[in-house]
Amino acid sequence: MPTTVQTPEHVERTSVLRHSLLVRITHWLTFIAFIALLITGIEILISHPRFYWGETGNVNTPAAFTFHIPSSRDSVPTGYGYVLPDQNGWSRYLHFEAAWLLVLTGAVYLIYLLATGHLRRNLFPTREQRSLRAYTTRIAQYVRFKKSAADELHTYNVLQRTSYLVVIFFLFPLIIWTGLAMSPAFTAAFPFTSSLLGGRQSARTIHLFVTIALVLFLIIHITMVALTGFRARMRAITLGSSRPNEPELTPEELP
């Protein structure tokens, strides 16, 4: 629910608190961790751009699919006459460190979601949103590039709520699980975490698919931010508030 904060010095300059301090901090920590994981993940992928299904797979076994890109190791035949610089060392170090940042930030955010009612209030679809019609109406609106009504300014619509729930409760847990399912020590202690996914190589392949899904989410997320007023949105998620008379603040929801 939006709160109107009136500072004693400038009563006339009311501002709308859009994101709490905890949401703002966890949002940007997640962003930093995700970008670090993405860059280092791509570096690690380049050392073996072949993907398999099942427990095992290597150059001597058939691949499920292959990225036709040059590799950073000469142990993979790529068809290119050169090998890219090997960046796996720091990439692996940073990948696992950023993974910790993501997991710990996510844990704090989850506690906040459940403890404050943020989840029920702002992320679960409201009673009137829980219908197929609510989805189709909203999709039609997006397709026609129509702005939302002014009274929807301070709440997430059903598509936003659904995509946030999918990212928080499906994609992020799945990418952590598939990551752990590639750890020989972790799977030694908990073998079912790997076998439930179909094996180590299946886990690696799913890890890639979930990454692609998260990157698609990121692209749409940033596009919506840009379309609905980049500066106002950035101020809201960084400083917490945006001024109601902000010229860029057109009647559109929070991205």
Residue ranges binding another protein (CB under 8 A): 7, 44-45, 47-48, 50, 55-61, 73-76, 88-90, 92-94, 96-101, 182-189, 191, 194, 200-201, 204
CB-nearer residue toward another protein: 3 or 58: 58
Give, in order, the Cα–Cα distances in Å from 122 to each of 6, 91, 131, 155.
Answer: 23, 36, 17, 7
Is the CB of residue 154 less than 8 Å from the CB of residue 2? yes
Encode burial over 183-221: b for 16+ CB neighbours within 10 A, e otherwise: beeebeeeeebbeebebbbbbbbbbbebbebbeeeeeee
Identify residue 90 by its one-letter amino acid code: W
CB of residue 138 vs another protein: minimum separation in angstroms?
37
Helix (H, G, I), strand (E, B) or coil at 66: strand
Nearer to another protein, 66 or 126 (CB): 66
Question: In the complex, what is the shortest distance from the CB of residue 96 to another protein, in angstroms, rounded to a whole number?
Answer: 5
In the complex with another protein, which residue's Cβ is closer, 91 or 162? 91
Q: In degrees to the nearest 10, what's the CA dihedral of 230, 236, 239, 244?
A: 100
Measured between its terminal Cα atoms, the distance across the chain in Å is 16
Q: Where are the alpha helices (DSSP H) in 61-190?
A: 88-116, 118, 132-143, 158-166, 172-180, 184-189
Q: Which is nearer to another protein, 126 or 183 (CB)?
A: 183
For residues 52 and 109, which CB has a smaller minimum distance to another protein in the complex? 52
| Token pair of 39 as six digits | 């860059």
